[in-house]
Amino acid sequence: MMSITITAFERSPDGGRGLARDTRVRWALEEVGQPYKVRLISFRAMKEPAHLALHPFGKIPTYEEGDLALFETGAIVFHIAERHSGLLPNDPHARARAITWMFAAVNTVEPPILELANAKLLEGDKAWNKERLPLVEERVRTPMGQLSRHLGDGDWLDGAFSAGDLMMVHVLLRLRSSGILDEYPNLAAYVARGEARPAYKRAFAAQLAVYKASH
Ligand SMILES: N[C@@H](CCC(=O)N[C@@H](CS)C(=O)NCC(=O)O)C(=O)O
């Protein structure tokens, strides 16, 4: 197995909460027991040609393994899950459903959560923000209510823990500070179950060490 290098923020703006997207890649690598190296990168360097050659949109994380370079956490986690056991079931239908949940996390659940984060973080000072915020929050609550009903009293989205849960839990973590996650006790418990996994704890500790060293 070739050595794996990912990129992460040199100075994460998330306060050490593990919200930056490298955390989900670290978590996947920890779940399958793959060691990895981290190259820390500044906001300026992220937009420069060397990084753009790895990530056309100038973001983190990237993933390098031999002469393979990937970006987009969904694709990176899928790549890891396909090559190592532990993140996708063997049964073909269960596997396809787990992959479906990975897409649901990044394609259905994450966009309104990001929109809410941006509305608060970047547009808080705009005159129209007060009026718009409730609309943005409703767009988060609709899929949250639907996800909550689907999960019911299950531990994970479809039987055993999978890469679909890994992506979903990490996407939901960004909602915690808004208070909206706690409106859905089974989803709050689901996220806590994810955070309690030893692999998540190792990933969280690793990103926190970077944060602490830089602040
Ligand atoms: N859809 C991408 C999103 C990547 C992304 O937005 N990364 C953020 C950090 S969590 C970033 O690099 N932001 C800095 C910037 O856009 O300048 C993925 O899942 O990999």
Mean pLDDT throughout 41-53? 97
DSSP single-letter state for residue 61: -
Ligand 1 site, CB within 6 A: 20-21, 46, 59-60, 72-73
Structure tokens at 6: 């990912």
Q: Whose CA is nearest to atom 15 of ligand 1?
A: 59
pLDDT tens for 144-189 read 999 999 999 999 999 999 999 999 999 999 999 999 999 999 999 9
Amino acid code (one letter) for 135: L
Q: Whose CA is nearest to atom 17 of ligand 1?
A: 59
The CA distance from 88 to 17, in Å, is 26
- Residue ranges of alpha helices (H) inside 19-109 are 22-32, 43-46, 49-52, 73-83, 92-104
pLDDT tens for 84-138 read 999 999 999 999 999 999 999 999 999 999 999 999 999 989 999 999 999 999 9
The residue whose CB lies within 8 Å of the most ligand 1 atoms, and thus the one to mutate among 12, 22, 60, is: 60
Crossing angle of the two packed helices 22-32 and 163-173, in degrees rounded to 10: 150
Q: Which atom of ligand 1 is nearest to the CA of 20?
A: 10
